[in-house]
Amino acid sequence: MSTATAPLTPQEYKTDEHPIWCPGCGDFGVLASVYNALSARKVNPRDLVVVSGIGCSGRTPGFIKSYGFHSVHGRVLPVALGVKLANPNLHVIGVGGDGDGFAIGGGHVPHAARRNPDMVYLIMDNAVYGLTKGQYSPTSPVGYVAGSTPYGNIEQPLNPLAMVISYGATFVGQGYSGKPRELSELINKAMEHRGFAFLNVISPCITFNNTYKVLPAKLAEVPPGHDVTNRAKAFELALETEHIRLGVFYQVQQPTFEDGVAQVVKKAQASSPPRLEEIFSEFA
């Protein structure tokens, strides 16, 4: 992966496209943090691909100077994995909403996590379907009232962090759009990690699920001295109810998917597999 010849400032990662998100949407803070992290890491835009699903969050690739792929709902990960396999030298960042990632796209997350491709998967978690006007999502709390749940949501929310830790991701962290400096550092660490780096970013939807007032009392950093290689401890932090922890929960090193694929290709090329004619001759 090459770095830009002249490092870009965060501003220079902006495109001419202006976000049409509602004023005050948390996604602005996430986008600014991505710009900061790209600038800090001196990422050359031509070596970067941002892949998104559908949702307000799905518009993100249009705002980042890079290659981009605004895919279909829930399909961030298969597209991102395809990009990474086609050219392992690229930086790949997948972005999407909690609905995109954990409702319609939920079947892809375990397999991406256990394969461990070297990419970042960033969820903008607003606990609501923003684009389609505020229906409850898999991370909405019990009791959440919206057009689709006028008497309150009766389903328990799922826990993206605990799920992804259990799926075998090698980097799991959580950030908050309202703390862009800390979030920039977290994205930087996720990009530095070699393997599947999952970031759940709490990014309030000011229009349909305004949590700005209640969040500050609940947010707390991952405790100092937390051993990020301790998976059981990472689970404990993810399952805490008193606090919503911010920082790196879990990080270990394991071989990446693309390294494994390259080895398989090498082995296949070195061996002399039977020719198709030989295989077919068995059935003649």
Nearest residue to 209 via CA among 138, 123, 146, 142: 146
Helix (H) or strand (E) segment spanning residue 236: helix 231-239
Q: Is residue 248 part of the contact set for ligand SF4 (CB under 6 A)?
A: no
Determine phi and psi for 100, rounding to 5 degrees: -60, -45
Report d(CA 96, CA 101) in Å as an integer: 6
Report d(CA 74, CA 117) in Å as an integer: 18
Report d(CA 247, CA 176) in Å as an integer: 9
Nearest residue to 237 via CA among 158, 162, 137: 162
Q: Is the Cβ of residue 21 or residue 235 nearer to ligand SF4 in the bound state? A: 21
Q: How far is the CB of 26 from ligand TPP (least distance, A)?
A: 10
Q: How far is the CB of 253 from ligand SF4 (least distance, A)?
A: 35
Q: Is the Cβ of residue 206 or residue 261 nearer to ligand SF4 in the bound state? A: 206
Tell me which of 4, 8, 22, 40 binds ligand SF4, using CB under 6 A: 22
79 interacts with, out of ligand TPP, ligand SF4, none, CB within 5 to 8 A per kind: none
Q: How far is the CB of 202 from ligand SF4 (least distance, A)?
A: 12
Q: Is the Cβ of residue 130 or residue 173 nearer to ligand SF4 in the bound state? A: 130
206 interacts with, out of ligand TPP, ligand SF4, none, CB within 5 to 8 A per kind: ligand SF4
The whole-angstrom distance between residue 185's C-alpha and the CA centroid of its chain comes to 15
Per-residue HEC secondary structure of 46-94 comes to: HHEEEEECCCCHHHHHHHECCEEEECCCCCHHHHHHHHHHHCCCCEEEE
Q: Is the Cβ of residue 135 or residue 256 nearer to ligand SF4 in the bound state? A: 135
User: Is residue 245 helix, strand or coil?
Assistant: strand
Q: Which residue has the tokens 């290709």?
A: 265
Q: Is residue 205 part of the contact set for ligand SF4 (CB under 6 A)?
A: yes
Q: Is the Cβ of residue 208 or residue 250 nearer to ligand TPP in the bound state? A: 208
Q: In sequence order, what are the beta bridge partners of 245?
A: 220
Q: Is residue 234 part of the contact set for ligand SF4 (CB under 6 A)?
A: no
Q: Is the Cβ of residue 73 or residue 115 nearer to ligand SF4 in the bound state? A: 73
Q: Is residue 101 part of the contact set for ligand SF4 (CB under 6 A)?
A: no
Report d(CA 239, CA 241) in Å as an integer: 6
Q: How far is the CB of 100 from ligand TPP (least distance, A)?
A: 3
Q: Is residue 125 part of the contact set for ligand SF4 (CB under 6 A)?
A: no
Q: How far is the CB of 97 from ligand TPP (least distance, A)?
A: 2
137 interacts with, out of ligand SF4, ligand TPP, none, CB within 5 to 8 A per kind: ligand TPP
Binding mask 44-63 for ligand SF4 (x = CB under 6 A): ------------x-------
Dihedral Cα 64, 66, 70, 74, nearest 10 deg: -90
Tell me which of 66, 71, 126, 153 binds ligand SF4, using CB under 6 A: 126
What secondary structure letter does DSSP report for 45?
A: G
Nearest residue to 208 via CA among 95, 283, 97, 96: 97
Residues that bind ligand SF4 (CB under 6 A): 21-22, 25, 27, 56, 126, 130-131, 205-208
